[in-house]
Amino acid sequence: MKPRWQGELTRRDFLRVGSMSAGTIGLGWTSAAGNWHAKKQDVNCIFLLLVGGPSQLETWDLKPQAPDFIRGPFRPIATSVPGIQISEHLPRMASLAHRYAIIRSVYHDASPIHETGHQLLQTGLLSHDEVEHPHIGAVLSYLKGPKANGVPPFAILPGPIANTGVSVSHGQSAGWLGRKYDPVFLAPEGSQRDKRLHSLANPITANDKDLDRYGRNRFGRCVLQARRLVEKGVRFVTVNMFDSVFDRLTWDCHADGGALGTTLQDYKEKLCPMLDAAFSALIEDLHDRGMLEETLVVAAGEFGRTPRFNARGGRDHWPGVWSVALAGGGIQGGQVLGASDRHGAEPHRRPVSAAMLSATIYRALGIDPPTTLAGPDGLPFRVVRAEPVAELFC
């Protein structure tokens, strides 16, 4: 099996594909979705953006019966839900499978670069003609505003995504809504850094015992801070697990021995344990504090990885299918929705586009169709152009 996407991508190619995005993500809502009513509770969101794109075959959708040139090196293990298995290197997540749902059929048809996935997951649309669409958190800020004085409604931790290969938007700004609705950051230093977040998140010290559960690393610390921020009234917090994919450990496991050197051994020793600790601690913490029902948690990368190993034993970009985990905010835990084919190459049952996932987040937040805003040209603009995944909700 060969990857369906080859060759280099230019900025012009990206914008050309972006202009066709409405046709690829689907328009309109089903009658079932159209009849839904906004939830009464004020739901918040913590979005764990797994920058780099975790391999579906080494995390939540293992294929132990596939040929050895496709099958990953990790074993599947049982979870707290009979019949559901995930990677052996996510044991704490396995013990909590009854509290979250897995979608194993997420995909997109746009260009196989990090930025397209970032945009579709966080805005539901692709930028085109230099127009950037607003992040879900920015739309939430615009429609609902802050919960209290001095509490920003939308934050990104620790800071914005930097270079991931193509110089276009990552979908993490307010776009054409205007800078008033941009997120605030804990880092980097500078005008965009918001000092209020540090006091709201309770500055974390080396002696903070919560870090033993969340993980004594940047990701664990940021996920803990995200929980504290939501507790203090921030409506939407995105945690960027990494700010780039170059010259550092990320999910982008090309195994090239250079700037993109991450291997599946790194998944085993570092990446899966980091995700396992932080995600599990967050779900346990929110549940124990009575906050899970009013807090949607999403853990998603921007695409999956190639079913066939590359020549170096790594896996390359593959938006053909991947897996995402969701919990809280009205999501029914303990289920797997959709399925990939026997090689983990494309959806086999219940395909869910990346744009549909963003629509599902909107739905959980109580923003239902036909919500429109004044668009960049002043005309009514629908912020959601895909259907939410109705089966996920209780």
Domain definitions of the chain by residue range: 27-392
177: left (phi over 0), alpha (psi -120 to 50) or beta: alpha
Tokens linked to 56: 């579906």
Write down the pLDDT at residue 197. Answer: 79
Residue 65 has pLDDT above 90, yes or no: yes
- Note the pLDDT tens digit of each residue in 14-59: 444 443 333 333 333 333 333 444 445 799 999 999 999 999 999 9
- pLDDT tens by residue, 160-189: 999 999 999 999 999 999 999 999 998 765
| Closest by CA position to 165, among listed 112, 115, 119 | 115
Tokens read off for 358: 């963003």
* Mean pLDDT of all residues in 7-13: 43
| For the chain, percent of residues with pLDDT exceeding 90 | 79
| Distance separating alpha carbons of residues 131 and 177, to the nearest angstrom | 11
The per-residue pLDDT for range 97-132, each reduced to its tens digit, is 999 999 999 999 999 999 999 999 999 999 987 789
Task: Assess contact for 260 and 295: CB atoms under 8 A.
Answer: no
pTM above 0.85, yes or no: yes
**Beta-sheet strands, E only, within 81-136:** 85-87, 100-107
- Of 130-134, 286-290, 332-336, 340-344, the poorest mean pLDDT is in 130-134
pLDDT at 6: 36
Q: What pLDDT is recorded for position 368?
A: 83
Band (pLDDT 50/70/90 cuts) for residue 343 is very high
User: CB neighbours of 197 closer than 8 A, spacing ≥ 6?
Assistant: 152, 155, 157, 184, 185, 186, 225, 229
| Distance, CA of 84 to CA of 248 (rounded, Å) | 32
Q: How confident is the model at residue 210 (pLDDT cuts 50, 70, 90)?
A: very high
DSSP 219: H
Q: How far apart are CA 357 and CA 168, in angstroms?
A: 21
What pLDDT is stored for residue 282 in this prediction?
Answer: 98
The pLDDT-based confidence of 192 (bands split at 50, 70, 90) is: low
Q: Average pLDDT for residues 132-160, to the nearest whole number? A: 95
Lowest mean pLDDT among 12-21, 341-350, 384-393: 12-21
Percent of the chain with pLDDT over 70: 88
- Reduced to 3 states (helix: H, G, I; strand: E, B; else coil), residue 336 is strand
Distance CA 93, CA 64 (A): 19
CB atoms within 10 A of CB 191: 5
Question: What is the reported pLDDT for 33?
Answer: 39
Between 3.30.1370.160, 3.40.50.300, 3.40.720.10, 3.30.70.1530, what CATH number should domain 27-392 receive? 3.40.720.10
Q: Can you tell me which residue has the tokens 């550092």?
A: 248
In this prediction, residues 199-223 reach a mean pLDDT of: 89
